Structure 1
Amino acid sequence: MTVHTLLRPRAVQELPARLSRSAAATGSAHTMRTEEVVDWLAELARSHHFKVERVPLGELEGWSFEPGTGNIVHHSGRFFSVEGLSADISGPGPIQRWRQPIINQPEVGILGILAKEFDGVLHFLLQAKMEPGNRNILQLSPTVQATRSNYSRVHEGSGVKYLEHFVESGSGRILADSLQSEHGAWFFRKANRNMLVETDAEIPLEDDFCWLTLGQIGALLRLDNVVNMDTRTVISCFPMSAPEAGALRPDTELLSWFTSERARHDVRISLTPLAGIDSWERDGGVLARPDGRYFRVVGVGVQAGNREVTGWQQPLFEPTGLGVTAFLHRRIDGVPHLLVNAKVEAGFLDTVELAPTVQAAPGNWAHLTSEERPPFLDLVLAAGPDRIRYEALHSEEGGRFLNAESRYLFVEVDDSDEAGALIPRPGYQWVTVEQLNSLTAHGRYVNVQARTLLACINSRAVRL
């Protein structure tokens, strides 16, 4: 007798193996050679008309300072606004209370990568996307990278290509889908939907798009400023493998530690009128601190021949120095572990997310003593080539930040280092790669900087 069941497997068992095969593939007949991608991006940059020039905040077309609050708002009431934020955070560190500008963009966008199998290997459709904040203008972005305002065409521009694969039911098989936070220092409770969708349909290849294997993307992640932040965060959510045999902290113990970290911090965050924040001044058409630290709010005018709208103006956040973002890592009984930091950022919805060991702009801390600077920052800055397993410059969100770059690193430690101690200092914990990867299936566990470094592991840009 045939028994029929409505039950299906809770997970796609063969998917990690398929992703691993793609990560091992250095190219195919359906891709350009990896070494040609950078030249392709440069040729597109020459063939399209791109221009970004600074515009005083008070002269931005379509934007204005709101009467009463001083918030920077768009005339449509959509896209985003720049408002003030008041933060009062109890805990270690020399700075526990401050006010700052922050981007308030409550709508959820889509970051989606379309996958298709060619000759038994998964390929991923990426686009050469212009973003005004990128230092080199064009970088490889997901198939779809759009805010709700953009894909609902508030800007009255052209439609978003391939959008139907991510918003229409039945248009493909969803392999990964989770809401992930954005930069907690500069966004107020911002999240995007990170999606991987596989299709069996014939996909016409539009201009400025290309198919690449995961291994090719990994090779490109070893280069500076080629793969954009949004592609990196989606790749970090790829379900790469099942849990390994063991970890220093079992999953339940790890989650209990993380819950304790969230519970022990007393965090009071509120939006406040931009006009009322102290220690920030409007001068010369920008909003900045007199001491020149952290970041400034600037305006730009943009011309882009290959975007849905070919010209616009907007505010951007411009950091005042290069960031340093690093995982310390070591092997414990032969299994690679990463040292994560349960980090409080004012813009997080849930107070704390798992961050890299070090996430800081050194110039902002140079005036403080070594005891007051972020833990392990000096160790990472002093690390020699024998300790550095990976290093590259990557741009942050080029649609909202101007020239925002971080030096991303993996730095190896061992038993002889205080930093390698099995019982780390409060707020830090050793986790396996697989534990961190499994948490990206859920929202607001792993912050965007940690997800960039995780993407480097998933794509085999680095092997620990």
Structure 2
Amino acid sequence: MERRLNKIFLKSLLEKENSIVTTEEALKWIKRQNSIIKVEVEQIAFSELESWGFNDSSLSHHSGKFFSIDGLSVTTNYGGKHQWNQPIINQPEIGYLGFITKEFNGVLHFLMQAKVEPGNINYVQLSPTLQATKSNYSRVHKGKAPAYLEYFQKATRENILLDQLQSEQGGRFLKKRNRNIIINVKEELEVLENFMWLSLAQIKELMLIDNIVNMDTRTVISGIPLGNFEYESLSLVSSISEISSHEFNKGLLKSCANDAKGINTLNDVILFITNHKCNFELDVTKIPLSALNDWVIDNTSIHHIDHKYFEIIAAKIKISNREVINWTQPMVKPAQDGICAFICKNINGVLHFLVQAKLECGNFDIIELAPTVQSLTEKFTAKSENPIPYLNYVLEATEDKILFDTLQSEEGGRFYREQNRNMIVFADSGFAEEIPDNFIWMTYSQLQTFIKHNNYINIQARSLMAALSFNLC
């Protein structure tokens, strides 16, 4: 079953001739959806929020559902700053991020939704078929149920292709997870006006364009392996496509093998993770928002005294095609764009990714595996004396070494116009294999192994993994 499933996914990744629509037609459709959906998002005062308000400790919805903005006190021995306070989103519900798939012309297609989130920079982005919190699909808002919800609620083991719990942004959410799920259907189903079937190849192609494929889509498809085969069978796999023509592709193909010959074994990676979870301490305590040090609460925002990191704002929203078309809510607004980047290198002919063990205050279990570079809250420039390892290497990479470089939005339901530069850089042979203690080289297959389990690969790393294909060069 698993081998057949991998073949189905791989065919959807490589097949470009049998898609229902062309990628160009999909882009025109997205543009048309943007023109017919009316969107109004206005920043307002906290006092104008409807059904939200400050209590003794937090900013929350009167129903006690959806999410709240809480204060957090953090103490750790990780990094250069060992104690701080900050606001954080507390949303303990597990929501659905789900795709319905179906084969057309022998190729698996994904039912994509042209969805507007209030925080999206360009409004319409491609989201999963179902993207809903428990409060949404339980209809706490007294609106309509999300489209296609019943397919996921009735899904059985036989038609579930992927089912994982995955973490959200650890610096902004407190121990938040979502159910990433892909189901397959055989029967005909009505395709609503703001939905479209696309192949996996097309989704990844559209990721090459700024802010088209939303974060929720990226986290789900990151769990789809590029391949899963024995190392010795690579010559057979290579013969069916042109994917081995570039050194990056050759290394990635070998890196996908389930017994890829990495410089670290799977057990080495487990020891690395265990060691860092034991050595790093993370103590988080919820405190009243009014008790936050170095943060100011006024009528329009909760912000740091130096206007760094991010701020909490209030928004009034009107979106014409949502289950509820008018509402207000708090949102997180970033201070600046960030950067997330993987450096990868062929070692003994096998592509390896330079991964860091990163502690964030909202992590479920102290550390998660993150991209080589992840800077979301600090200003950075090329040639700056920035202590972030490998940042300057990424920023100064030559064009021939940059395989992927786009602006990708964070989840627009909670974050207001937040985008980060996503990059994949192919290092040359002179790049040192000796690395700092909190970094480790991993193969693609090893990363996929840990994606299958909860709270190992963070959402920024998964976003980059979603972009990987054999067509980046």
The normalised TM-score by structure 1 is 0.92
- Is the counterpart of residue 215 in structure 1 residue 201 in structure 2? yes
Counterpart among 125, 150, 157 of residue 164 in structure 1:
150
Q: Would the aligned equivalents of 1:15 and 1:240 in 2 still touch at CA under 8 Å?
A: no
| Counterpart in the other structure of 2:9 | 19
- 1:319-339: CA deviations, max 9, x gaps? 111110000110011111100
Match of 2:368, SS? strand
- 1:342-374: CA deviations, max 9, x gaps? 1000001101100000000374467x983x622
Structure 2 distance, partners of 1:38, 1:330, is 33
Match of 1:443, SS? coil
Structure 1 distance, partners of 2:94, 2:356, is 26
- Is the counterpart of residue 89 in structure 1 residue 72 in structure 2? no
Whichever residue aligns with residue 399 of structure 1, its letter is G
Structure 2 distance, partners of 1:191, 1:460, is 30
Pairs within 5 Å for 1:11-410: 12-26=2-16, 28=18, 30=20, 32-66=21-55, 68-69=56-57, 71-91=58-78, 93-170=79-156, 173-242=159-228, 243-361=258-376, 363-364=378-379, 370=385, 373-410=387-424
Q: CA distance change for structure 1 residues 204 and 341 in 2, over 3 Å: closer, same or farther?
A: same
Structure 2 distance, partners of 1:137, 1:293, is 25
Whichever residue aligns with residue 41 of structure 2, its letter is V
Match of 2:27, SS? helix
Structure 1 distance, partners of 2:456, 2:204, is 24
Structure 2 distance, partners of 1:385, 1:411, is 9
| Counterpart in the other structure of 1:8 | none
- 1:6-58: CA deviations, max 9, x gaps? xxxxx52111121111111225352x220122222221121121111111123
Structure 1 distance, partners of 2:398, 2:157, is 49
Out of 50-59 and 213-222, give the one that drifted further: 50-59
- 1:112-155: CA deviations, max 9, x gaps? 01111112111111100010011101100000000000001100
Counterpart among 439, 461, 465 of residue 450 in structure 1:
461
Q: Would the aligned equivalents of 1:172 and 1:200 in 2 still touch at CA under 8 Å?
A: no
Number of equivalences? 443
Q: CA distance change for structure 1 residues 232 and 134 in 2, over 3 Å: closer, same or farther?
A: same
Match of 1:116, SS? strand
Match of 2:453, SS? coil
| Counterpart in the other structure of 1:462 | 472
Q: Would the aligned equivalents of 1:194 and 1:234 in 2 still touch at CA under 8 Å?
A: yes
Structure 2 distance, partners of 1:140, 1:197, is 18
Query: What residue ranges of structure 2 are gaps of 5+ in the alignment?
Result: 229-257
Structure 2 distance, partners of 1:36, 1:318, is 33
Q: Would the aligned equivalents of 2:219 and 2:463 in 1 still touch at CA under 8 Å?
A: yes
Structure 2 distance, partners of 1:161, 1:109, is 15
Q: Would the aligned equivalents of 1:389 and 1:409 in 2 still touch at CA under 8 Å?
A: yes
Whichever residue aligns with residue 147 of structure 2, its letter is K
Q: Would the aligned equivalents of 2:219 and 2:466 in 1 still touch at CA under 8 Å?
A: yes
| Counterpart in the other structure of 2:246 | none
Offset at 1:89?
1.0
Query: What residue ranges of structure 1 are gaps of 5+ in the alignment?
Result: 1-10
Whichever residue aligns with residue 122 of structure 2, its letter is N
- Coordinate RMSD, CA, aligned: 1.7
Match of 2:312, SS? strand
Match of 1:325, SS? strand
Match of 1:386, SS? helix
Out of 341-350 and 170-179, give the one that drifted further: 170-179
Structure 1 distance, partners of 2:329, 2:470, is 36
Structure 1 distance, partners of 2:151, 2:158, is 6
Offset at 1:290?
2.0
Offset at 1:241?
2.5
